[in-house]
Structure 1
């Protein structure tokens, strides 16, 4: 009988320790999710701003193209900005996708 009580007490202690460890893991996972969501929101905001800027740059490029279809040197600058914005958008999309994948991985 004494042995059964000791086993029961040890099982309860082990279970409580496991619950405590799982609670810590869950708290850490929630913290990571909050961080990833925050970074994703910032990336999405940057992406939105760059998309607006890209639309503005596209308009400027079309305005700068003459009848001949050639860009002037100032249009080359705008075209360079457009390319840089497109590259930044791709980077942000990749970061947002990575953040989303990480968040899903943490949740599972």
Structure 2
């Protein structure tokens, strides 16, 4: 029914699919930590960074429910879709991952997923 080339092609296709699935599982398991660098004022826009510290200030924006946090004097933007029903409070210690962007001339970290900000107890 299938020739030799077709069997080889199907086996290669299956092998690639298995490799992609295994890579996905491994990457989800290890998380963003190994790929993120510690945030500094010199972090370039678009860089995945990590930051841990205490929330100094919480501001809920009136235009859409976005939340702006100040963590160790670094601005952290949490979009409404990410913030959801999470409650942020001053004095809470958090660990987070996000992408650096410049907004109105000031660096900030933008959180991309609710899993990217965790309270440290």
**TM tier, shorter chain?**
0.3 to 0.5
**Radius of gyration: which is bigger?**
1
- Normalized per residue, the structure richer in helix is 1
**TM-score computed with the length of structure 1 as normaliser:** 0.36
Structure number with the bigger relative contact order (C-alpha 8 A, sep ≥ 6) is: 1
**TM-score computed with the length of structure 2 as normaliser:** 0.33
- Normalized per residue, the structure richer in strand is 2
